[in-house]
Amino acid sequence: MTFGWILLGTLGQLMLACFLFMVVAFSAGGLVNGARLGKAELRILDLSIYLLPALCVLSAAIVIGLYLRGGGAACYGWYALPLAGAAWYVAYALILHRRS
């Protein structure tokens, strides 16, 4: 693991955090405006607006921590953590959209 790739990956994760915040803000706003949702659905959407960017920061922190402890190149796989969260959110939003 090199410092340059860690720096680029961390900056990429921070940019992805901003992007995911905007994606959730606009898509959840559209879902709430177009359909009548229950409290549980609203809470999941509200949580997603904070959880997805937090996953980006968490994955960057994990990779930096592993770099400082001498981790190998396999540690870059932690950068995929927010992508799994985003895939979960997109699937959930599509289910809500189809249901309404």
pTM, to two decimals: 0.89
Could you read off the pLDDT of 26-74 as tens digits, one per residue? 999 999 998 788 999 999 999 999 999 999 999 999 999 999 999 888 9
Other Cβ atoms less than 10 A from the Cβ of 6: the count is 18
Q: What is the mean pLDDT of the chain?
A: 94
Distances, alpha carbon 98 to alpha carbons 29, 31, 84, 91, in Å: 16, 10, 21, 11
Range of the domain at 29: 3-99
Evaluate whether 93 touches 30 at the Cβ level (below 8 Å): no
Domains: count for the chain: 1
The model's confidence at residue 100, banded by pLDDT at 50, 70 and 90, is: confident
Nearest partner of 56 among 88, 8, 9, 4, judged by Cα: 9
